[in-house]
Amino acid sequence: MSLIERLTRATLCLHLAPHGLDGVLRRAGRPVPDSAFHLPIANPDASWEVALAALRGWLEQHNAKKLPLAVSLASRWCAMLMVPWSGALLDRTSAQRFLHSQFAAVYGDGARAWRLAADDAPYGKPRLACGIDAALLQGVQDAAAAHGRRCLSLEPIVGPAWRSIAGGKPAAFALVEAGRLLLATTGGGRITGLHSQSCGAAWGDELDRAWRRWNLRAPQLDVIEYVALLDLSGMPQDELPARFQSLPVAGAAHLMREAAWA
């Protein structure tokens, strides 16, 4: 592909969550004006099967332009884990066995049906790993293929969220979604620590309590004065503890700044 083609091609960035499908068209790494949309999904059980059916339906109705897709998934469907370093990670086959053993120890035998991947941390360092139901991943890929679209990327929303703020080099950040909050420490351009849990509509107080509980287990957090905050919950809070500095974000799909270059 030529440089001109790279600069002018468009990518449809989608974020699939239990209660909504969000999207925006990006060209040359920038959102196309007036291209953003939100499709509500009636999904009281937060089932990924229901959300996937909504994605299929939307693709069926908007099939005139077969633009490639970059898809992020809500944290609710993405199990995250910091795994210790092991020499097994150097080989693809042994790495999968090692990751499955790590996830099974935390999430139970159901994790063996997940597709697992880990980031490329420096030798000897713990790695951030993610597990997603293999059927969900395959379902998204099949939905794209059924409508003649390429799926350029498919990842948990924490990836685009981190990349969108990494240039500011925050020591830590918080990502809040409807019913879910995630806290992460960073260093060397990557996520180095992680805490994830459920939360309610009044997540502001819970966010601070979650940070304090994590701090008890990880005293090194004492030196972190400010935490960057990305709020995708759709439930803004009147007041937040001073520790958390909210950053503007148009929506989950808008976080995928690198998708157009994938």
Total number of domains in the chain: 3
With respect to residue 257, please indicate whether it lies within any of the assigned structural domains.
Answer: no
Q: Point out the least confidently predicted range of 64-68, 73-77, 176-180, 192-196.
A: 64-68
Task: Tell me what pLDDT residue 3 has.
Answer: 39
Q: Is the same domain home to 24 and 57?
A: yes
Whether 170 and 215 map to the same domain: the answer is yes
CATH label of the domain that carries residue 231 = 3.30.420
pLDDT in tens, 121-163: 889 999 999 999 999 999 999 999 999 999 999 999 999 999 9
pLDDT digits (tens, 9 = 90+) for 91-100: 988 999 999 9
* Two structure tokens written together for 90: 């150097």
What are residue 27's DSSP bridge partners? 10, 30
Q: Crossing angle, helix 134-146 and helix 48-61, to 10 degrees?
A: 10
At 43-76, the pLDDT tens digits run 999 999 999 999 999 999 998 788 999 999 999 9
Residues 186 and 232 in one domain: yes
Judgement on whether residues 83 and 71 belong to the same structural domain of the protein = no
pLDDT value, residue 257: 61
Say whether pLDDT at 18 is over 90.
yes
Q: Residue 259: inside a domain, yes or no?
A: no
Same domain for 150 and 165, yes or no, is no
Cβ–Cβ < 8 Å for 81, 89: no
> Are 48 and 125 part of one and the same domain?
no
Q: Does 70 share its domain with 25?
A: yes
* Same domain, yes or no: 34 and 149: yes
Residues 146 and 70 in one domain: yes
pLDDT band for 258, please (50, 70, 90 cuts).
very low
Q: What is the value of pTM for the model shown?
A: 0.91
Residues 151 and 108 in one domain: no
The pLDDT value given to residue 255: 83
* Domain contains 126: yes
Q: Is 31 found in the same domain as 70?
A: yes
In angstroms, the first-to-last Cα distance of the chain is 12
83-122 as b/e: b if 16+ CB within 10 A:
beebeebeeeeebbebbbebbeeeeeeebeebbbbbeebe
**Residues of the domain holding 167:** 160-246
Residue 63 lies in a domain: yes
Number of continuous H segments (helices) and E segments (strands) in the chain: 6, 14
Give the CATH number for residue 148: 3.30.420.40
